[in-house]
Structure 1
């Protein structure tokens, strides 16, 4: 397993161990000792997945303190364009974002630290994204930034967006607690 840093401090691309043969594939998405060597989380409190059809944008989501969390995300079916936005006020990359294509063919994932918003665009007809998080879901701390308010070009003219995601505040109107 290889972990490579992105342009956002603490955000790593995960290149898993993959074994393929005529039966299919075996993919190792997490290795506690390797993560611990890099100071990354090794204890997860919830795990879930979302399914999306092509053209769906979900995001940009995060939880605020004291229920903020780190995430490990990976695509287990299909392909997504995963996007992370730095909301940490003291960070040199505050307000900047990075994107990574996650494709189930390669098993790549992403580690997202506390203080970053996360979202994705489904690129395949069906996409299944898995999440591991270091805190339990807390509805009162569940917030978001509007998907089109931070200068990222999603590459789609008419995305499918939930009403909730459409109504998140713009980045310029958001007072970060991070």
Structure 2
């Protein structure tokens, strides 16, 4: 796998090595040893998959400690714009984000560390989206910030009149009004 660093330390794009021939292709989508050596020393415990249609925006979500999660995400079918926002108070990149297009063609994976809010918009007619999490889902630890926070200025690349949101995602606070954020000085991987 090739590691592509982004403008925020720890937020990583992973490009797999693809082997193609007349039959199709093969690639290793995950290797725990190589991931720990090149990206992050964490262990994934849960795999999730979602299916969405064009215009769906999911996010910007996170889980609070002790259930904070890293995510390793990828697209199996279709295309998304995937976004990670630094919500660690005191971080030199606080309030900045990285956005990457993940498609079934490029097969990129995107690693979102603990301490970041995560979301994506669906750019294709339909998408099948998979993600690995390094902590179990805990509804009591849910947190989120507004997908359309003007201070973040994220261009989700979806026509405003085509955006589809969950009822929950319509009501999240702006980053500056969030009641709970991560502390940059706290090691979120200390138990790993």
TM-score of Structure 1 vs Structure 2, range by shorter chain: over 0.9
* Candidates 157, 179, 182, aligned match of 1:177: 182
Secondary structure, counterpart of 2:47 in structure 1 = strand
CA distance, structure 2, for counterparts of residue 41 and residue 126 of structure 1:
33
* Cα deviation, residue 42, structure 1: 4.6
SS at match of 1:28: coil
1:1-178, aligned counterparts within 5 Å? Answer: 1-38=1-38, 40-149=40-149, 150-156=152-158, 157-158=160-161, 159-174=163-178, 175-178=180-183
Deviation at 1:39, TM superposition (A): 5.2
Closer, same or farther: CA 177–16 of 1 in aligned 2, 3 Å: same
- C-alpha displacement of 1:34: 2.0
Matched pairs, number? 178
Post-superposition offset of 1:31: 1.8
SS in 2 for 1:130: strand
C-alpha deviation, 1:13, in angstroms: 0.2
Gaps of 5+ in 2: 184-192
Runs (4+) of structure 1 exceeding 6 A deviation are none
1:117-158 deviations in Å (ceiling 9; x for gaps): 111111111111100000000000011111001221223312
Alpha-carbon distance, 1:68 to partner: 0.1
Taking only aligned residues, the RMSD between alpha carbons, in angstroms, comes to 1.3
- Aligned residue for 1:59, secondary structure, equals strand
